[in-house]
Amino acid sequence: MSDPARPTGPADLDRSSVDLDSLRYDERGLIPVITQDADTGEVLMMAWANREALERTLAERRMVYWSRSRQELWRKGDTSGHVQHWQELRVDCDADVIVARIHQEGAACHTGERSCFFRSLAASEG
């Protein structure tokens, strides 16, 4: 027997926009942001954002994150010049992860690589 409150198929899903109050931040007030190239679909990086970072991201049309190590807002590209202009911000079904589809200027990774995901996980031997 199906649950009437649970969607049964794609046509039943709520596809409305989500506001900042509807997002599910963790206990630190943060939400993960996966950054993806808007043209190629390549995953470029993962960072964290708090509400203020997302407010600035929306207002400025460029990505602003929360630096956990420095405990401050981090506007991507302010020091490196590697700015990220967002095309679309998507929220997952649980409203606890954001995918930012962006246009990247320069490298996304602090190492100088285009993507932070340039290494593979090796299988253990044995």
Task: Give the pTM.
Answer: 0.85
CA separation for the pair 120, 101 (Å, rounded): 23
pLDDT tens for residues 64-89?
999 999 999 999 999 999 999 999 99
pLDDT tens for residues 15-63?
778 899 999 999 999 999 999 999 999 999 999 999 999 999 999 999 9
Other beta carbons within 10 Å of 35: 25
- Domain-by-domain residue ranges, the chain? 23-104
CATH superfamily of 23-104: Phosphoribosyl-AMP cyclohydrolase (3.10.20.810)
